[in-house]
Structure 1
């Protein structure tokens, strides 16, 4: 007996009978009570016609009686998808008119289990890729001993096909499948046969959709090699590389089997072009956003970009952000990526912070940068000039400058860039300055940060963070630009303390220091997919000397929300050394 649903002819007969009886006298609605195991009860409540039409007031008595008489056929149809092929259904109607209650009692009987599974792959994969065929068989989603469910059966077939199609065998197909049900023995025998088709190799790129911006941009960031084996992940890597460029709003990448290619080539291999279709952004783009953090207060942001400067796809990017305690201006002109995917740019910025631990800071920065962003790694070589004016309350201004050649490296290895649950993000920075070369001091600057994500169970998450920074120099720290020194405290540092409140005390002010070390451990309990709570511990310090440091500790609890626009974080931290509670809120919306 097949595992199929109610025969189509019986279904059509039922619908015809309902239509034919529609003109007969109507009666009020009724109630339905279903007694069945919970999983089956939910299915029957949602899909039985008796349940679906219970609130209708235009059903005739003959229509109602017909649904009651045939409910057993519908029950058999729906519970068979869960592996129950011999249910016993008892129906009882109590009351009259709109007081009627239909009691449907379902004894599903024993569940059918999988007895045998036979999965075969024909075609070139059988000899060229035996390990891939073994993977299909090993990962089969409905093994012997498991209950038969129609949904699981469909998913197992699809997942096995995806395993073939995602690597080498782009044209693989399901040639035949059968679920043979033995109701008397309560057993199911499954068989599926796949035809792998030929193995595919990647051919040349075919690009379409470019009008304003040169096609060479796409070719320069292309990580694929002609002749390499087809893998869907490699096509997705190309898609992401193109999407990371600022020129394209939509990117589609696919393999295009050549016309007239034989279904079974003699060598079992076909080379197919890679088709790239893009949709370009307009030359002008304007973005804005609002946000709030307890560190610097409410903020409003605007950004204007022009993507075809000099009619050569150079990008002019400008940004302005106004916060309660900080204002920031930025402008950059960047060239398109070259054949090694590096982008060269020239930029400048202005930043001012006010009343941060009784200090005001004004910083000017200009520089040249050569950077490359790939799937998991970013590399930047830069030459930056800093000119900072630090003004502590009631003290003379500290004006300092430095010309800093620098190197930065970032590695992103997470499962989700917006809401990560597994992996880590690592950032390192190295820079050097020499006194007399547009610098007030000789120093070597190092900075590193790592954030590790460890999943716990199906939803929970453990997050660990470490941050280290140092300016190696014999000079006084005041000769190093303030923005190259360090302070700690705040939402992404040591919670329980004010933003940048940990550093070198000087009168009523707290000045940035030569050295930094912070760490944090956080456990997030997600009681719903998008809502969670967290407990955390943070610790660290910022100081000018390593022989007399004070470690600051903070503990607390918080709420987490995976909002449609990004993560929202609300924490309450307790600073143990300062014996104080402080809220920490971080949210933002771009539009």
Structure 2
């Protein structure tokens, strides 16, 4: 029956009232929910109880105390509840769980509240369990492996010792890892048991290992271009059929990454593809680009801005020969060198190279000018495990130079030589610990390709150490001597000079040396000019304090000379400095006061780049 208009109006009004009531209820529910959540989180933040601090007594061993504290901190309990018997029993159970791995299965615990309601946990350990019997046995090939047996018999738990389950569990894990690292890929524990006889306070240990066979190195499998196969085979420190060793594989990976031929390379065993006991070694690699270019810039007070451009071709042929060249440009010096490298037996540490170079030098503060052509053959080698690199060489050098009283003189020398170099540093840019030592000797004989008799020896060293993270000390020294039958014909580039950023600060580059009267090409007047000496002796010590991140304050003392007379008075300098450890390397500023027998000088030195 259809509704009349009045009934329709009444229904609309009733529906609206109902909706209003529902809306009010919904709003009330929402407000209550938000109020509950707010009180909940506020309660957690505002009324959270601080963690209980336990004072542990009766236990002196650090490892026991640490383990007890760890277990007690895992109890989620307020301090006030610890007066209840239930929670005191829980504390006792936690302490028992903490000390049982160390052989104490009969401990007693008492909880008390002393000054300021401090919670004191007094532990009585009582007598521990003593190892009564240790039974060990190896089944399989490991039984005949002396190294395997020695490792297996190295369990530190002996009869009469207090039971320490941490040693027991650690031994099982370490033995398993040792087996896998030495080719026992089927190794497993056939039986392990720790019997606890609490009434007699004794424990018995049973360890039976099934070693399985020892696997061996198999053939190499290559993932990617295998053009380096011959080189990689030479880098292997193992042969097919040798017993597998993770140490040998790690050495193989180190050699691969140090070879310089690959952008990315990794070698790993593929046990699932073993052919009998031979495990293939998968080599996944990515070769370096055919040609690599690099640009580096720097600056120093001695040379001003400098730029170095480099090119390298790491792969010239399948035998691993490589070629590179280098161009160096600064205001006083320009040079270009080329190097062809031939790897020998140990590719990463043993190689021969042929080097050719041209160099032009002209220093504004002297009348020195030279052009040098050189061609040399080097044989580099480094014994396994030794940080010392050896270099046997023979060099042909022809230098045309103007220096002092000598004008446009040309000297040719054939110089067999030998150098021994040690270099070690903790970082390539910001060095906190580093050492550098080089010993160099060259000799030439008149009539055997040389215009004069010539012998030269140089020893130089730098040591950097940092103490307490902020105290840095660097010590540097250099000694050199020349013996010849005609010093006037010794090329200036082979003579000794001192002074400058890396020598005795406070003086110009190469300023300290014997002098001679020369004609200034700009004024025509006679001036005294450094011409180089037969002997060199310099040393330096510097202290730097890092007073904030990225900045060090420094102070130094330099001393030394380049001379023809070993009794010459030494020149020295002192001064402060500041180091900025920039993202691209340290920038060092120094103000140096130089003291020489005939004058005192001031010099500002700015150096960019690492010291080693």
TM-score, length of structure 2 as denominator length: 0.63
- For residues 544 and 215 of structure 2, the distance between their equivalents in structure 1, rounded to whole angstroms, comes to 44
The yes-or-no answer on 1:471 pairing with 2:482 is yes
Query: How much does 1:290 deviate?
Result: 1.5
Query: Residues of 1 paired with 2:513 and 2:467: CA distance?
Result: 35
Aligned to 1:97: none
| Residues 252 and 396 of structure 1, relative CA distance in 2, 3 Å threshold | same
Match of 2:40 in 1: 66
CA displacement 1:310-349 (0-9 Å, x = unmatched): 6764322111121122111111222344467632322211
2: CA distance, partners of 1:523 / 1:439: 45
Which one of the candidate residues 403, 417, 437 is aligned to 2:448? 437
Further displaced range: 115-124 or 361-370: 115-124
The CA distance in 2 between the partners of 1:391 and 1:117, in whole Å, is 83
Tell me, yes or no, if the aligned pair for 2:429 and 2:584 is still in contact at 8 Å: no
Q: Secondary structure at the match of 2:407?
A: coil
Secondary structure in structure 2 of the residue aligned to 1:498: coil
Contact 2:389-2:422 within 8 A present in 1 as well = yes
Are 1:317 and 2:328 counterparts?
no
Tell me the SS of whatever aligns to 2:255. Answer: helix
Describe the superposition over 1:388-427 as per-residue Cα deviations: whole angstroms up to 9, x where unpaired.
2232368523432211111222223444455554463222
* Structure 1 counterpart SS, 2:336: strand
Change (3 A) 1:85 1:385: same
Q: CA RMSD in A?
A: 5.1
Aligned to 1:346: 354
Mapping for residues 449-464 of structure 1, pairs under 5 Å = 449-464=460-475
**Structure 1 residue 519: deviation in Å?**
1.9
Deviation string for 1:149-207 (max 9, x for gaps)?
xxxxxxx99x989996997599899x9xxxxxxxxxxxxxxxxx9x9988988735736
Alpha carbons of structure 1 residues 308 and 551: separation in structure 2 relative to 1, 3 Å: same
Pair 1:373–1:128, CA change in 2 (3 A)? closer
Task: Work out which of the residue numbers 360, 368, 371 in structure 2 matches 1:362.
Answer: 371
Contact 2:591 2:605 in 1 (8 A): yes
1:586 aligns with 2:586: no
Which residue does the alignment assign to 2:539?
Answer: 519
Pick aligned residue for 1:551 from 567, 570, 581: 570
Structure 2 residue 390 is matched with structure 1 residue 383: no
1:506 aligns with 2:520: no
User: Closer, same or farther in 2 for the Cα pair 1:409/1:233, shift >3 Å?
Assistant: farther
Distance 2:151 2:282 in 1: 26
Any idea what SS the aligned residue of 1:365 has?
Answer: strand
The residue correspondences of 1:71-150 to structure 2 (distance < 5 A) are 71=45, 84-85=73-74
1:249 corresponds in structure 2 to 263
- Measured in 2, the distance between the counterparts of 1:289 and 1:492 equals 19
**What pairs with 1:418-433 in structure 2 (closer than 5 Å)?**
418-422=429-433, 424-433=435-444
CA distance in 1, matches of 2:216, 2:406: 67
More helix by share: 2
Shift in alpha-carbon separation, 1:132–1:436, aligned structure 2, 3 A: same
Q: For the Cα contact (< 8 Å) 2:445–2:454, is it kept in 1?
A: yes
Structure 2 residue 494 is matched with structure 1 residue 494: no
How far 1:431 moved relative to its partner?
A: 1.5
Asked whether the equivalents of residues 505 and 592 of structure 2 are also in contact (C-alpha less than 8 Å), the reply is yes
CA distance in 1, matches of 2:577, 2:435: 22
Looking at structure 2, the residues matched to 350 and 410 of structure 1 have their Cα atoms a distance apart, in angstroms, of 24
Q: Where in structure 2 are the equivalents of 1:21-32 lying within 5 Å? A: none
Matched, 1:571 2:590: yes
Structure 2: segments with no counterpart, 5+ residues: 1-25, 55-68, 80-94, 104-133, 158-169, 190-206, 518-527
Quote the offset at 1:442 in angstroms.
0.9
Trace 1:326-337 onto structure 2 (pairs within 5 A).
326-337=333-344
CA distance in 1, matches of 2:503, 2:237: 37
Distance across 2 between alignment mates of 1:134 and 1:561 = 55
| Contact 1:368–1:383 (Cα < 8 Å) also in 2 | yes
The offset of 1:385, in angstroms, is 0.9
Relative contact order (alpha carbons < 8 A, sep ≥ 6): 1 or 2 greater?
A: 1
Change (3 A) 1:568 1:133: farther
Q: Hey, what does 1:282 align to over in structure 2?
A: 289
Cα distance per residue 1:438-495 (max 9 Å; x no partner) = 212112221222223444234533332232222222332x322222222122222222
Q: What's the CA shift string for 1:510-553, capped at 9, x where partnerless?
A: 1222222222223333345654333332222212232x323122
Matches within 5 A, 1:521-536: 521-527=541-547, 530-536=550-556
Q: Contact 2:224/2:285 (CA < 8 Å) preserved in 1?
A: yes
Pair 1:396-2:410 in alignment: no
CA distance in 2, matches of 1:166, 1:528: 47
